[in-house]
Amino acid sequence: MLAIINETAAFLAAKMQYLPKIGIILGTGLGELATQITHRQEIPYEEIPHFPVSTVEGHSGKLIIGQLGNTKVLAMQGRFHYYEGYSMKQVTFPVRVMKALGVETLLVSNAAGGMNPDFKIGDLMIITDHINTFPEHPLRGANEPSLGVRFPDMSKAYTKALREKAKKIAANHGIRVVEGVYVGTSGPTFETPAEYTYFRTIGGDAVGMSTVPEVIVAVHAGMQVFAMSIITDLGIAGQVVEVSHEEVQQIANQAQPKMTLIMKELIENL
Ligand code: HPA
């Protein structure tokens, strides 16, 4: 595994004009941020050795290397979800490669369903912690000591200083943000009413199908992490309504400018 990571990193390092210390996984809600990256270089996933190949769409995404303000970033446009059929090693491979390239801070976004009764549709949630309910663990198997320890601490997975900075930025712009625990689940089904109640009962504020695997690997690798969800639908006990992928996309698009602004300012001031 180490040899493969290093091979991919060496391929990319040879192409890249510089090695950014900031990595971004442009999940739902951050498509717009991608368009604001200047001085950019793009590398399609298909050209990158050992990168997972797309299972469904014609092309699976690209790496974007460039600048947000004066800050150099390495962004993944398009992520790999467990529900698509990738193994956890594949889902998290790009994070390993980012680390090998020198990335120290990882920023992630996603869409999630809210279970906290104080949440509203379209809210932005700063993730304070997570609950991992995926059936496969990304660190299962032999541990490579040079990548991280066998039993990683998870008590401070989401870097407090970054959360505080993001809250200040949001307040300065009058943007409402909430904070909470993100439950990562495999999908691809949205939750049944009983499952929403269950995820609330175990301590979750929102639930989604990504992020947790990448964050676990980033923490294992010693990175700082900041993650934010757009609450695109609500699964609150007694008032669960139908949800569709289209609705999730639509709400995410509406909330996108707020998310973009916070992330951009956070990155420019890291
Ligand atoms: N559940 C899981 N994933 C999601 C949801 C949800 O309710 N909304 C957006 N992504």
> pLDDT digit string (tens) for 177-223?
999 999 999 999 999 999 999 999 999 999 999 999 999 999 999 99
φ/ψ of residue 248, rounded to 5: -55, -45
How many beta carbons lie within 10 A of that of residue 39, not counting itself?
Answer: 10
> What is the extent of the structural domain holding 83?
2-268
Mean pLDDT of the chain: 93
pTM score, whole prediction: 0.94
Q: Are 207 and 112 in contact (CB under 8 A)?
A: yes
Alpha carbon distance 156, 16 (integer Å) = 32
User: Cα(263)–Cα(228) distance, rounded to whole angstroms?
Assistant: 9
Does any ligand 1 atom lie closer than 6 A to the CB of residue 127? no
Instruction: Find the mean pLDDT for residues 136-157.
Output: 96
Task: Look at residue 25 in the predicted model and tell me its pLDDT.
Answer: 95
Taking only the tens place, the pLDDT of each residue in 218-246 is 999 999 999 999 999 998 877 777 888 88
For residue 240 and ligand 1, the question of a CB distance below 6 A is answered with no
What is the residue-wise DSSP string for 34-82?
HHT-EEEEEEEGGGSTTPPPPSSSS---EEEEEEETTEEEEEEES---G
Over the stretch 46-89, which tens digit does the pLDDT of each residue have?
999 999 876 655 556 899 999 998 999 999 998 999 999 999 99
Q: How many domains does the chain have?
A: 1
Q: Which atom of ligand 1 is nearest to the CA of 113?
A: 7
Strands 105-114 and 224-234, how do they pair? parallel
Give the type of residue at 67.
Q
Q: What is the CATH number of the domain that holds 141?
A: 3.40.50.1580
Give the Cα separation of 68 and 15 in Å (integer): 20
Residue 187 CA to ligand 1 centre (angstroms)? 8
